[in-house]
Amino acid sequence: MAKYLPINKTDMKERGWEQLDFVLVSGDAYVDHPSFGVAVIGRLLESRGYKIGIIAQPSWQNIDDFMVLGKPKLAFMVTAGNIDSMVNHYTTAKKKRSDDLYSPGGKGGCRPDRATIVYSHRIKEAYSDSPIILGGIEASLRRFAHYDYWTNKVRRSILLDAQADLIVYGMGERQVVEIAEALDSGLSIEEITFIKGTVYKTKDKERPYKPLVLPSYDEILVSKQKFAESFMSQYNNMDSVSARPLMEPYINCYVVQNPPQEPLLQAELDNIYSLQYIRDYHPVYEQKGGIPAIKEVKFSLTSNRGCFGSCNFCALTFHQGRVVQSRSHRSIISEAEKLVWDPDFKGYIHDVGGPTANFRHRACKKQEEHGVCTEKQCLFPSPCKQLKVDHRDYLSLLRKLRDLPNVKKVFVRSGLRYDYIIHDKDESFLKELCEHHISGQLKVAPEHISAEVLNKMGKPRKEVYEKFVRKYSKINEDLGLKQFLVPYLMSSHPGSTLKDAIELAEYLRDLGYMPEQVQDFYPTPGTLSTCMYYTELDPRTMEKVYVPKSAHEKAMQRALIQYRKPQNYNLVFEALVKAGRTDLIGFGKKCLIKPRKHIGSFKPTKKNSRRTGTKAKHKSRKKP
């Protein structure tokens, strides 16, 4: 019977262990489930015969918690957790969050800001000669010098700030096994500079073979154009087939990125999900209310990795890459068969997906031999002629899951690319999706409708979304179902002016829809949009980009999307006046808000003075 990985000396003694090979330190609570990176890495190394222990959410005020398992024989492995610790702690407005779904009882405050750096420093204090290997999303996206939104500065590579030895970037299963074998064979951490998917530091500029030398840290500190050039070099070297080593110079050393690791084969990915997970949080958290993050994933199934959608505001390109890897049907069905007999299973599989649920294969055959295109996207601005649009494999998988005993419903809640679905000439997938796999509404992400903003986002033009809306509505009508589309929208993305925000507000007005939630653009490391935000340049063309940066303008753009909310009135009024669109203040059908008598700055025009009724209240209209 599987046991949790050791979290203290008592657990080690029960296994007869005096010393561990690796100690994994995490900013998340310990959840032994394949949706949690520490569990995956821990179980994988355990399956290779290594002794593994976990220190989850240690107290960082002193070194005591970092010594609870003793000094490992080979190395410490450090991650901030499944979510970047700064994103975990702060809203887009830089306000402190009070909750944390990855902590006991969902309460915040269980990890420090910049957890990867803080944990590494404490380990150095406790065991100065122990190697430290960084991994996870926080370290992966900060492997080179990067813009830090929270301080509005460019920071060094996290490898240097953390005083660590290696970074494992991307999905790290193959890397950590190779590192473990190298350390176990007697190689020192300084000699491990040859593993794909890793970043190391060196004083020897001849160490990497034929590297592409990036602008130095000092150069990008003083030149936003150099920053943009550096970012594009990194962005275009994210494919395991074509990428070159990258080298970023600092005053006293070089930070070197080896090319990305090859995507896992299907058999390797299947093996990851067949390891002996307990699929729940450690019992030590029970009295504190458990770990809320397990609720959504406990009865969900991961089908794939990678995404060739490449939205500019998404870090997936920089982390998982554009090559889609999928598990076999047999592997997924096997996992599902364990779920359906769980005492807590109520008959509903919550999700079958990944970064993009309806991507189950590489974008085209060319990728297998030549890798992904560096100067061309698969779906933007229009689908590549080589793109393979085919949902048959995914649909077959969903049908098999629907037929399992005890299963009442199989939902698809991961992101679905409507701009991929709409180009499938076979409508079978969309029909069965509507009939069997959603419940009342489908969430998709057009993000905006302004052509200029969509271009900066790397999203398709609004006509593609409108075409999907029509097809979705027709299919539901044919099925006799009343199901809605819920569009995800983003405010204040680079390129978005008040004019663009008003254009979106008018579009929503015409639809009769006001979103309950709006996502403000969040400039996190590792995205092309963040590069735009910081440099005010489009790194693809080096053209100037308008960027809404002040908190007040962001608030106005957000308020325009939710213009019907009474609390947003003043912001919407100010935005319309500032943009010269007072024609949208009045009683006409096309007006967004009504005037208030006490607001003296309002000047009626012919358009906004036409009344449509006497004090008529807005009737709620159906969502599209």
DSSP secondary structure string for all residues of 7-49? -SHHHHHHTT-SS-SEEEEESS--EESTTSHHHHHHHHHHHTT
Rounded to whole angstroms, the Cα distance separating 95 from 348 reads 36
Helix (H/G/I), strand (E/B), else coil: 153: strand
Neighbouring residues of 151: CB distance < 8 A, sequence distance ≥ 6: none
Percentage of the chain modeled with pLDDT above 70: 96
Average pLDDT for 292-320: 93
pLDDT score at 273: 97
Q: Is the backbone peptide bond immediately before 381 cis, with ω within 30 degrees of 0?
A: yes
Average pLDDT for 530-548: 97
Q: What is the DSSP letter of 490?
A: E
> 621 falls in which pLDDT band (50, 70, 90)?
very low
pLDDT score at 195: 98
> 603 falls in which pLDDT band (50, 70, 90)?
low
Question: pLDDT for 155-194, tens place per residue?
Answer: 999 999 999 999 999 999 999 999 999 999 999 999 999 9
Question: pLDDT for 610-620, tens place per residue?
Answer: 433 333 333 33
pTM for this prediction: 0.93
pLDDT score at 81: 97
pLDDT score at 623: 39
What are 112's two structure tokens? 């420090």
Cβ atoms 341, 403 nearer than 8 A: no
Q: Is 376 exposed, middle or buried (0-12, 13-18, 19+ CB in 10 A)?
A: exposed
Rounded to whole angstroms, the Cα distance separating 325 from 315 reads 17
Does the pLDDT of residue 151 top 80, yes or no? yes
Rounded to whole angstroms, the Cα distance separating 138 from 155 reads 13
Between 222 and 596, whose confidence is greater?
A: 222
Mean pLDDT rounded to a whole number for the chain: 93
Q: Which helix (H) or strand (E) holds 281?
A: strand 280-281
Average pLDDT for 590-601: 75
Walk me through the domains of the chain, giving residue ranges and CATH numbers. 9-200 (3.40.50.280), 299-439 (3.30.750.210), 489-624 (no CATH)
Does the pLDDT of residue 600 top 50, yes or no? no
Residue 192 Cα distances to 98, 156, 196, angstroms: 41, 22, 10
